[in-house]
A and B are shown apart, each in its own frame.
Chain A
Amino acid sequence: MAKQAQSKMSRVLQRRENVAGYLFMLPSLIFFLGFVIIPMFICIITSLTNTNMHDPGMFGSFIGLKNFSDLAKDQVFLKGLANTFIIVIVSVPTVCAFSLWVSSAIYKLKGPVLSAFRCIFYLPVVTGSVAVTVVWKWMYDNYNGILNSVLKSTGIVEKGINWLGDPKTALWCIILILFTTSVGQPIVLYVSALGNVDQTLVEAAQVDGATDLQVFWKIKWAQMMPTTLYILVITTINSFQCFALIQLLTQGGPNHATDTVMYYIYYTAFKLTEQSGHFGYANAMGVVLAIFIGALSALQFKLAKEK
């Protein structure tokens, strides 16, 4: 009897705790549902419709996969997709490799010096992207920017390079800025991961005659795999979603050389053209982008798991 009462009491307490837990989660849950889950479903549904700004109604008319077949023929979208993949393919490995290299070099440093390095590399992450972009825009300026001033004064070039106005250089300039704003967090994470590597395993391997490379590859790298996976996924998503830099610096130009899928989504949905406000078409691009991001992230998870 006493046991039954105790069990009932424990269930009541458990329920109370559960209710309290859910109540605490409720505000976040409302935001998550309202701003992530519901819009996600709306995006998927409207990608199959001709929803647009000019016609009334939230969902327009159902047009099946027409938006997707149109995308396959849209040269600007295909160019944007190609540019997006270039950004991902270049920036993800370089961010990962560079941050691993920097972390390996600094993680054994003493407290204040290590903190200083962490601050330096993390600064572009916490600085507002608009401020970062404005500074870079000034540096890239082909009339009186610092890059051209240095190159001209040292005699490396005779005439200033139009960094953001030349299709040969514009996308690489964007990738460089993206790189500087992306390495901060991976460096901080790798420094922590390297500090948490089990030293007994390292010492045992060294006693067994393992080289530094072998120690890194067989012991440290293996233990850092969860961190690496997280960095890979986050950097991939950030690279796929490159938008602010394009909007603030090049608006997709010159001659679509820096168009990305994210920018083209925004352009299709909101720019002032007769074709503007084609939310169905823009959402179809969003769905395609999400599929690519999901597929690549899944691939990364699978590879990391196998490793």
Chain B
Amino acid sequence: MKLKKVLALLLAMVMTIALVACGGGNQNDPAPSTPDPAPAATPDDNKTPDPEPAPAEPAGASEITLWTYPIGKWGDEATVKGLTDAFTAETGIAVKVEYLAYADGDDKVNTAITANAAPDLIMEGPERLVANWGANGKMVDLSDLIDDTDRSELNAAALASCTHTSGAIYEYPVVMTAHCMAINRNAFEEAGALQYINEDTHTWTTQQFIDAVAALYAHYGDTVGAVYCAGQGGDQGTRALVNNMYGGTFTNAEHTQYTWDDPLNIKALEQLKSMDGIAFDASLAGGDEIAKFYQGALKMAFCWNIAQQVNPNQADTGAEKTVTGDDIVFMSFPSEDGNSKLQGGIWGFGIFDNGDQARIDAAKEFIKFFCDSEHTVDAVKAANYFATRSSAADGSVDLSGVWADDPIMNEYTKLMPYLGDYYQITTGWAAARTAWWNMLQAVGTGDDVAAAVAAGAAEANTAAAG
């Protein structure tokens, strides 16, 4: 009987402890914490430019959280640890980092916002930070971080993209690039299609693109390029392809209306649909398309940029090579005269308004540290893109030569003059993206192109009207 009692007591204790353990949550945390794959807050001597004997004592919050999408090596734990350690060493503020994937990152952030557990800092582009979370009043205005000197140093178009129509700046831009496409040079050579591309300028015309696809299809007898549309991932590629072929537009210049029911876009979609070798593939999203291109199944990728060129498919198997060792050449999107308008990518930091001024101040300190100091070079290099400003720290840090010693990055600068309008901040952007890939799926399944485009654009414009 005694033994039974002891056993029952033990069992009850185990259950109670389990309950308490499952309850989780450090009560000392001022805000709900996130899983911590992040670094310990000790300085890394190798990466700290100005090592201190001990971390500085923070005046306000001692810890902030950063959620980052995989923007170059800002998605790599070892790299980010080096960066945040340097910040901690100088300010004494620890940074908890969570790494998001594009597949479900938005869902995680939305869930966190709903649960009042949003991170202090988030790293992504204006289409999320400005057009969505900012427009919904979830972000902190960063205008006080940007003075006249900053404005003169920052790329005006990038800063404009980070500014809401209300005038509030919801994102401090760090890096930018032009999205492009890529071809498998060996496959083009085998199919006799190299004649259709200008390898020096990385440009081609729409007719040359059509001829190249025909040559590739004649040689391989299968799909060589995929208009992927399983989801929104990488959709900048399909938008740029369709818009550039005959000069169609996605929004008006004022970013108040979606114009992708433009007859020139319909013409491009009908052309693509009619081409042997091009498939509207609802089983692939942008990342899947890159993987298929990297594996050699597809001979061209519409979802590409410098980060992919440097490290295709993020597989660490060598720059500018497929898994089979074929050469990859980055290309501008085809247009009638060869002068295309490339989709820009801008990435930077935003701060969620969690109502704790101390944490907001600490997050602003983080932004200033990586966007306007000697550490901006490290932030830019980690992202593998180009700096959004010519210099930092009141002109004392020159950022124009960050990639001077990198031949691939230098070659890629040939595409930067083709950077087009950053229309992703148009109101209703997230709904418009969804309508876009749904429209591509409808076209792919045989719906009338004009009707599908009109329905999609109408849906996007309903969202734009609020």
Q: What is A's interface to B at a CB cutoff of 8 Å? A: 20, 23-24, 27, 30, 53-54, 140-144, 159-160, 162-167, 170, 250-251, 253-257, 270-277, 279
Contact = CB atoms under 8 A, between A and B. Distances in A.
Contact of B106 (A142, A159, A271): A271
B282 A272 contact: no
15 contacts: A24-B11, A27-B16, A30-B19, A54-B136, A143-B223, A144-B295, A159-B222, A167-B445, A253-B282, A253-B438, A254-B229, A255-B447, A273-B430, A274-B428, A279-B114
Given A164-B283, A165-B281, 12 more contacts: A143-B223, A163-B283, A165-B444, A253-B229, A253-B230, A253-B282, A254-B445, A255-B445, A271-B107, A273-B434, A273-B463, A274-B431
Contacts of B441: 253-255
SS class, residues of chain B in contact with chain A: helix
Contacts of A270: 107, 110-111
Nearest to A26: B15
A251 B228 CA distance: 14
A163 B283 CA distance: 8
Contacts of B438: 253, 255-256
Contacts of A30: 19
Contacts of B284: 165
Contact of A255 (B16, B298, B428, B442): B442
B350 to A, nearest CB: 14
Q: Which 7 A-B pairs have the closest CB atoms?
A: A254-B282, A165-B283, A272-B106, A143-B297, A165-B282, A164-B283, A255-B441
Interface of B: 8, 11-12, 15-16, 18-19, 106-107, 109-111, 113-114, 128, 132, 136-137, 222-223, 229-231, 279, 281-284, 292, 295, 297-298, 428, 430-431, 434, 438, 441-442, 444-445, 447, 463
A18 to B, nearest CB: 14
B136 A250 contact: no
B230 A251 contact: yes
Contacts of A255: 282, 438, 441-442, 444-445, 447
A144 B293 CA distance: 12
Nearest to B133: A272
Given A53-B114, A143-B297, A276-B430, A27 B230 contact: no
A251 B283 contact: no
A77 to B, nearest CB: 15
Counting chain B CB atoms within 10 Å of each CB, the highest count among A27, A54, A272 belongs to A272
Contacts of B292: 143
A143 B298 CA distance: 9
A274 B430 contact: yes
A78 to B, nearest CB: 16
Contacts of B434: 271, 273
A251 B283 CA distance: 10
A30 B128 CA distance: 38
Contacts of A53: 110, 113-114
A162 B281 contact: yes
Contacts of B297: 143-144
A272 B112 CA distance: 12
Contacts of B111: 270
Nearest to B15: A27
B302 to A, nearest CB: 15
Contacts of B430: 272-274, 276
Contacts of A257: 445
A273 B431 contact: yes
A33 to B, nearest CB: 13
Given A159-B222, A274-B431, A277-B110, A254 B298 contact: no
Contacts of A159: 222
Contact of B114 (A24, A27, A170, A277): A277
Contacts of B109: 272
Given A23-B12, A142-B283, A255-B282, A276 B110 contact: yes
A27 B19 contact: yes
A144 B298 CA distance: 11
A140 B282 CA distance: 13
Nearest to B291: A143
B233 to A, nearest CB: 10
A159 B224 CA distance: 13
B312 to A, nearest CB: 17
A50 to B, nearest CB: 15
Contacts of A272: 106-107, 109-110, 128, 132, 430
Contacts of B222: 159-160
A165 B8 CA distance: 56
Contacts of B223: 143
A253 B281 CA distance: 11
Contacts of A276: 110, 430
B110 A274 contact: no
A139 B174 CA distance: 41
A275 B444 CA distance: 25
Contacts of A164: 282-283
Contacts of A20: 8
Contact of B279 (A24, A162, A163, A271): A162
Contacts of A54: 136-137
A141 B283 CA distance: 8
B25 to A, nearest CB: 15
A143 B434 CA distance: 25
A164 B441 CA distance: 12
Nearest to B8: A20
A30 B106 CA distance: 31
A148 B19 CA distance: 50
Nearest to B428: A274
Counting chain A CB atoms within 10 Å of each CB, the highest count among B19, B106, B113, B230 belongs to B230
Contacts of B106: 271-272
A256 B113 CA distance: 28
Nearest to A167: B445
